């Protein structure tokens, strides 16, 4: 499952390759890929035709392509294995090609790299897809209007996040993964930021001090920024960015996936514990579990 840095890498790729191009036509090759577009495949393709794509946007792990001349946007769901690829029109179809979007190349765009390319949504497991939605006055697709800003968003409110942590009867990793509080922090980056902050994943948030919250947010941002610099992590060999290149940040992870390996800070073997149908990786010495109150 791609996390925020991976999605941001895809967004940047799309910005370069599809922004401000006019859709000449779209083709849905598998109905499951547009199942979130409730009006169906024909409606999806008809509504796109002739519209210009605006600047691709992201909030947390959600990525969308606004249409420039109407308050609507194409929301991309990458799912487990979804890829948005830019390919020359003449390139053979991928085995798992689900949706193709062709563009009208105008004389102005004919000399650019993008000329002669099309956008392809390829998805082996078909958990992902594309759908068209109305947008809110802020420009968000209406179905994700409840998603909080992510920590890399300049308008993310650190103080409001701290107050929300204090109010919630939650534990810290649950809170980090709560998309209505903070978006874009997935399992991997939560474990990394908690390790850097020396915090156990089950620590109650009610007792968090402001400095502790700010330190944790700083580590969340550092981990994500470092991942972005190398193109995101890639744990799923099926996941590649918009130009088909895999990320390789996994080599520099400090916690996630390091069960039994020495903690890079104190040398204690790292542990893995089942956590909400996933796993949490932590150092039992640096990240002491909270005392259980009866």
Residues forming the site for Zn ion (CB under 5 A): 263, 265-266, 268, 283, 285-286
Q: Which is nearer to Zn ion, 40 or 269 (CB)?
A: 269
Residue 165 φ/ψ, nearest 5 degrees: -60, -45
Confirm if 53 and 109 have CB atoms less than 8 A apart: no
Shortest Å, Cβ 253 to Zn ion: 14
Confirm if 101 and 118 have CB atoms less than 8 A apart: yes
Shortest Å, Cβ 196 to Zn ion: 11
Confirm if 34 and 44 have CB atoms less than 8 A apart: yes
Shortest Å, Cβ 263 to Zn ion: 3
Q: Out of 11, 59, 61, 196, which one is annotated catalytic?
A: 61
Residue 3 annotated to the active site: yes
Using CA atoms, how far residue 21 sits from 50, 68, 105, 114, 123, in Å, is 10, 10, 8, 9, 23
Confirm if 130 and 79 have CB atoms less than 8 A apart: no
Distance in angstroms (rounded) separating the CA atoms of residues 11 and 47: 22
Residue 212 annotated to the active site: no
Q: Which is nearer to Zn ion, 46 or 265 (CB)?
A: 265
Residue 2 annotated to the active site: yes
Residue 61 annotated to the active site: yes
DSSP string computed for 41-95: HHHHHHHHTTPBB---EEETTEEEEEBTTSSEEEEEE-TTTEEEEEEETTSPPPT
Q: Out of 32, 278, 285, 290, which one is annotated catalytic?
A: 278
Shortest Å, Cβ 128 to Zn ion: 37
Q: Which is nearer to Zn ion, 210 or 265 (CB)?
A: 265
The catalytic residue positions are 2-3, 61, 278
């Amino acid at each position: 499952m791609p996390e925020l840095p991976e999605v941001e890498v895809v967004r940047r790729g799309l910005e370069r390759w599809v922004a401000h191009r006019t859709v000449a036509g779209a083709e849905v090759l598998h109905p499951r890929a547009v199942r979130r577009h409730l009006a169906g495949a024909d409606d999806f393709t008809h509504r796109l035709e002739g519209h210009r794509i605006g600047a691709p946007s992201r909030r947390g792990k959600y990525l969308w392509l606004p249409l420039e001349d109407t308050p609507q946007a194409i929301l991309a769901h990458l799912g487990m294995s979804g890829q948005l690829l830019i390919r020359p029109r003449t390139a053979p179809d991928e085995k798992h090609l689900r949706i193709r979007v062709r563009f009208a190349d105008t004389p102005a765009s004919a000399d650019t790299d993008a000329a002669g390319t099309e956008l392809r949504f390829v998805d082996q497991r078909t958990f992902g897809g594309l759908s068209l939605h109305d947008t809110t006055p802020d420009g968000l697709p209406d179905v994700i209007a409840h998603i909080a800003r992510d920590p890399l968003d300049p308008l993310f409110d650190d103080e409001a996040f701290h107050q929300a942590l204090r109010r919630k009867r939650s534990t810290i990793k649950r809170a980090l993964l709560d998309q209505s509080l903070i978006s874009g922090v997935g399992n991997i980056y939560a474990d990394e930021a908690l390790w850097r902050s020396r915090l156990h994943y089950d620590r109650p948030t009610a007792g968090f001090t402001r400095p502790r919250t700010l330190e944790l947010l700083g580590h969340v941002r550092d981990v994500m920024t470092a991942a972005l610099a190398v193109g995101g992590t890639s744990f799923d060999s099926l996941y590649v960015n918009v130009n088909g290149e895999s990320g390789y940040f996994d080599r520099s992870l400090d916690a996630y996936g390091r069960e039994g390996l020495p903690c890079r800070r104190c040398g204690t073997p790292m542990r893995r514990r089942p956590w909400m149908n996933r796993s949490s990786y932590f150092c039992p010495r640096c990240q002491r579990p909270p005392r259980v109150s009866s």
